[in-house]
Amino acid sequence: MTKKEVIWREILFQATVNKKMGFTQKELAQKYGFSLSTVFNALRVPRNIGAVEGKRGLKTIDIEKFLNLWATLRNLKKDIIYQTNTPKSVREIEGDSPPFVVFGTYSAFLKKYKETPADYDKVYIYANRKQLNEIKSRFPYSKGYSNLIVLAADPWLKNFGAVTPDCQTFADLWNLSEWYAKDFLNVLKDKILG
């Protein structure tokens, strides 16, 4: 994920989970160790479309618009660091995944809400490159239909727990082409926006 997306995730997470709508650019820069210019530039498009307002102190004013912006600009494919075909079911893949992974997309939805709007046949997990050998030893590479996809985790993702936060799950689901992704996306949007 880009630094811009890390900032967007923080703002959307705080707005949707903690109902915190206001930030300062300095606060965001200090939290992540980014420059003020990085934060300022990350907020240029959300400001232009009316998702946030303000300069030094900013306020989230349109969560749905901000979510859709991130989802549209997210490039999930560039974050893929490993994928394989395994004969295991999705539940077996999830159960056999190392404890350090963060579950994304369909698995994140299931683990958080204990139900799914549709069946799914792919598991997306986040891990860092140093952890890939452990994943590969559990799920060796095999050609065919990739049903385990590993995405590069940013250094702050683990702070959100064992599953991606809903705003990131939404952005990731938006980028998937499986027919059932839309079912998950619609239900998740209702849960986020209430």
Same domain, 162 and 120: yes
Same domain, 134 and 186: yes
Long-range CB contact pairs, 126-131, < 8 A, 24+: 126/101, 126/102, 126/150, 126/151, 126/152, 126/153, 126/157, 126/164, 127/81, 127/98, 127/100, 127/101, 127/102, 127/151, 127/152, 127/153, 128/152, 128/153, 128/155, 129/81, 131/98, 131/100, 131/101
Domain hosting 149: range is 76-193
Same domain, 115 and 145: yes
Write the pLDDT tens digit of every residue in 106-131. 999 999 999 999 999 999 999 999 99
Same domain, 171 and 81: yes
Same domain, 68 and 128: no
Same domain, 153 and 59: no
CATH of the domain at 46: 1.10.10.10
Q: What is the pTM of this model?
A: 0.95
Number of domains in the chain: 2
Same domain, 69 and 80: no
Same domain, 136 and 179: yes
Write the pLDDT tens digit of every residue in 5-63. 999 999 999 999 999 999 999 999 999 999 999 999 999 999 999 999 988 789 999 99
